Chain A
Amino acid sequence: MKPTDITDHKYFHKVVDCQYACPAHTPVPEYIRLIAAGRFNDAYMINWQSNVFPGVLGRTCDRPCEPACRRGRVEEEPVAICRLKRVAADNKTEITDRLPDIPMQKNGKKVALIGGGPASLTVARDLMPLGYEIDLYDDQSKGGGFMRSQIPSFRLPESVLDEEVNYILDMGVVTHFNHEVTSMKDILAKKYDAMFVGTGAPRGRDLPSLPGRKDGDANIHIGIDWLASVAFEHIDKVGKKVLVLGGGNTAMDCCRTAIRLGGEDVRVVVRSPKSDMKASPWEIEDAEHEDIPMYENHNPKAFVTEGGRLTGMVFEKVEPVFDEKGKRSLVPTGEEVLMPCDDVLMAIGQLNSFPWIERDIGIEFNDWDMPEVDKTTFQTSLPQVFVGGDAAWGPENVITAVAHGHQAAISIHKYCHGEPTTDRPPPAVNLTSQKMGFHDWLYDAHVSDDDRHVVALQDKQKALADRKLEVEKGFDLTQGYDEAMRCLNCDVQTVFETDRCIECDACEDICPVDCINFIENDEEGVLRDKLKVKATNKEQDLYVSDGLKTKRVMVKDENVCLHCGLCAERCPTGAWDMQKFLLHEATAGK
């Protein structure tokens, strides 16, 4: 193999698994160390810079970082990264003095944001400090988009959302709430310099052709619309027997909301086997904790009505069958089940919908009737129109919407200044030695043995009685510290300098997880096989040095490195050093 080029920031970035997996590339280990140090404001601001909604995400994020966490490969459970973010948000003090200054003198450019969710708000956050004037349009009465309408208050208190949405709106964004944009033409006519569409995936899937759908309509609800009505307090009760169709996170929110609004027999009914449910495992867990039963392999057949009123649903039981290629199909067993109910909530998927964008104004639409959006620049074929968040390629999650927002803001800024949007700014990268003495490092290199800490929950009786009472209590300071100490500091990189190595093998001998090898060089496949412990995880790179005096090379399998620093502590010549790799993704104007 060729020697690893560590001057290419992509190499070390990939070693920081959590940050690499995060769509917004939040420097996770950096803020976790700040939490351990009790510097909550600093930890919060690193998050705010990168993901804009630390308090919201610390409760509701889809956490792509956690399955990626190296700790999950070393032992059973990853670091509770998401809930640590909440520790920073919960314990911070006043931070408004740290928010960017908004110039009084504007730069003369006007931008319209259509939709007030996380993508649009991120664009506003990035552009307001650069002197843009921004108009935000949304059909809801407050900002936040789906964060407000779809995430129930018992998971995300309104005060937390208001605070973080207002940090942005208070920068001087001109809001047009309760204003549904019905024509893109009208917006274009207002001569904005650029427009950003962040309207989400607002249409919930229905079962229009199922028998009884029309007759039972009064008690058959689209999940996301129903949740929005609850959030805006248009709905405050539900029937005693409720069926929730679907196995995603929206279904979990629907069923948990239903038992808080008077549902006594609330059931989740899924077509697929339970193991294939799309909801995050922790959200399924939370629903089960509230004793909500889940019925798997039930395919909806018909709504049953009596005298124009919904009385139940018929399901056909199915069986998952796999063909040779491992593709699953659900084969009917012929057995039918009747479940009586008063209300049905359908949470079986969301669709994009752009009836308000005229098809003759220069925005190209593709075969799926979605606007054609560039994956890097988020620009459409009408150069001043940009699209991001769920509106771009269908439903994802808040953190992805934020990442889109940052990138779109970069494009808008470049577009408004006549620069090519395809020209993307590089991230800010820094690599700093952590050495202080023989066994002293600027980071806490000790590896904690603690198991993942469990977040305490509110008393169940109390929680079910109050829709607005937050169920999770969050980590207290001690738990937060202990959980933070579980982080392996994967951003503190093991940097190897070939010329200094005397091949004493000290690092190879001390490494607790046998990452380090001194062997004859070969092709990657052969090397992976020849290491002390075979490098079977191909997602993880091998770090290969230049040729050493004995013609061998140092090969380090990054897979389960604990970043404990022992290789560097046991190195007599300083050939190994622990260096902190800090990467901040570029934002508009920087």
Chain B
Amino acid sequence: MTFVRPNFRHPENETNDIGYSIKNYEGALSTLCAGCGHDSISAALIKSCFDLNLEPHKIAKISGIGCSSKTPTYFLGKAHGFNSVHGRMPSVTTGANMANRDLLYIGVSGDGDTASIGMGQFAHVVRRNLNMIYIVMNNGCYGLTKGQDSATADKGSAGKKGVPSAFDSIDLCQLALQLGAGFVARSFSGDKKQLVPLIKAAIKHRGFAFIDVVSPCVTFNNTPTSTKGYEWVRDHLEATGTVDFIPQKSEITIDYPAGSTRNLLLHDGSELLLHKNADDYDLSSRKAAMNRIETTKEKGQILTGLIYHDSTATDTHALIDTVERPLNSLAQEDLCPGSSVLEQLNGSMR
């Protein structure tokens, strides 16, 4: 019986620019089923934060309930964490974000946690454009309670039990688009080449960044008849284009044929380099994005990659005009400046 991760790492593993090794970004050993897509997403988050030279203690991971929501234990062990109530990750994140706007908020949720019990919360956090990244680990079933169909299970898709889902599914990317998210992407847990740059871009995006990650449940929903199994997803992926994340101030070394690439400038000066495919569309058009999701769906494919991007969207703090400093750093004299200030204020109104 092992189930303990050895402490040794590859001796030639490099540290990042702030001197941390990848080990500083890891968490406890996963207790999810072997082969769970969620573990790959955890690994992609670890890799992204390592590459972006983020300090783990300046990150907060917040989750709800479900297999997906267990994962924050398995990455960024040195970050802050809050494993909240089922479907209530958005409101806890909102509260935390209001109190300390300096942290990076990574919200982790599942298809049940977001598309069923937490639907109301999801809708409102999107429309408030809270500055966070919101990752849905989407496996189309309730893995923690033996694999019942979730609200994202496609109509006709059948998991291990063999009964096809009777209801239409909720497309969370479409929902996010409709509610005004500024960054909408979809990816696949088995495609880190795409997922890692998307997570990095989402982290650098100011405002609400949504990534719906199809993440197969090996135990209950990895059958040939399921549209969320490894094989089906791999066979039906259609990317909006390949993506490469270019950190701030670094040279672009990827060589694409002229005219086929587009640079997306992110808030801190880093860029997302998009290699367009044949059916290119305007990524900043919500209508075009909606269209594209629908037409891809009609072909029986899953649209992945960056689907929509609007860098001009203002986040909650700007919308409600909060102070620049985190609320938790405001002292008594900041919050209650005293009678002289009151008198001044009153005087100004006389």
Contact = CB atoms under 8 A, between A and B. Distances in A.
Contacts of A534: 12
Interface in A207-257: none
Contacts of A428: none
Interface stretch (A14-22, A80-88, A164-172, A501-509): A501-509
A583 interface: no
Given A502-B231, A506-B35, A572-B33, A566 B40 contact: no
B170 interface: no
B336 interface: no
Contact of A550 (B35, B37, B189, B234): B234
A512 B234 contact: no
Contacts of A510: 5, 29-30, 39
A504 B30 CA distance: 15
A114 B312 CA distance: 92
Interface stretch (A32-40, A118-126, A329-337, A444-452): A444-452
Interface string B206-236: 0000000000101100100000001100100
Nearest to A445: B2
B216 A504 contact: yes
A560 B6 CA distance: 12
Contacts of A506: 34-36, 39-40
B344 interface: no
Given A506-B36, A569-B34, A572-B33, A512 B231 contact: no
A440 B36 contact: no
B40 A564 contact: no
Given A509-B40, A514-B13, A572-B33, A566 B5 contact: yes
A74 B192 CA distance: 27
Contact of B9 (A502, A505, A513, A569): A513
Contacts of B2: 439, 441, 445-446, 564-566, 569
Contacts of A504: 35-37, 40, 189-190, 216, 218, 230
A296 to B, nearest CB: 32
Contacts, number: 102
A193 B279 CA distance: 85
Q: How large is the interface on B (under 10, 10 to 19, 20 to 34, 35 or more residues)?
A: 20 to 34
A562 interface: yes
A44 B120 CA distance: 70
Interface string A472-511: 0000000000000000000000000000001111101110
Given A504-B216, A533-B12, A549-B234, A447 B34 contact: no
Interface in B37-87: 37, 39-40, 42-43
B350 interface: no
B1 interface: yes
Nearest to B219: A572
A571 interface: yes
A375 interface: no
B18 interface: no
A439 B8 CA distance: 20
Nearest to A512: B6
B9 A512 contact: yes
Contact of B230 (A441, A502, A508, A565): A502
A565 B2 CA distance: 8
B259 interface: no
A75 interface: yes
A467 interface: no
A570 to B, nearest CB: 5
B117 to A, nearest CB: 27
Contacts of B36: 504, 506
A515 B6 CA distance: 14
B228 to A, nearest CB: 13
Interface in A533-586: 533-534, 536, 549-550, 560, 562, 564-566, 569-573
Given A439-B1, A550-B234, A447 B39 contact: no
Most chain-A CB neighbours within 10 Å: which of B5, B7, B12, B192?
Answer: B12
B10 A572 contact: no
A566 B8 CA distance: 13
B39 A509 contact: yes
B215 to A, nearest CB: 10
Contacts of B231: 502, 549
Contacts of B11: 73-75, 560
Contacts of A550: 234
Interface of A: 73-75, 438-441, 445-447, 449, 502-506, 508-510, 512-515, 533-534, 536, 549-550, 560, 562, 564-566, 569-573
Interface of B: 1-13, 29-30, 33-37, 39-40, 42-43, 189-190, 192, 216, 218-219, 222, 230-231, 234
Given A503-B190, A505-B189, A514-B10, 6 more contacts: A505-B190, A513-B9, A536-B12, A550-B234, A562-B8, A566-B2
13 contacts: A447-B7, A449-B7, A502-B231, A505-B40, A506-B35, A510-B29, A514-B13, A515-B10, A533-B12, A536-B12, A562-B8, A572-B34, A572-B218
* List of 7 A-B pairs having minimum Cβ-Cβ separation, nearest first: A572-B35, A447-B6, A509-B43, A504-B35, A445-B2, A513-B10, A572-B218
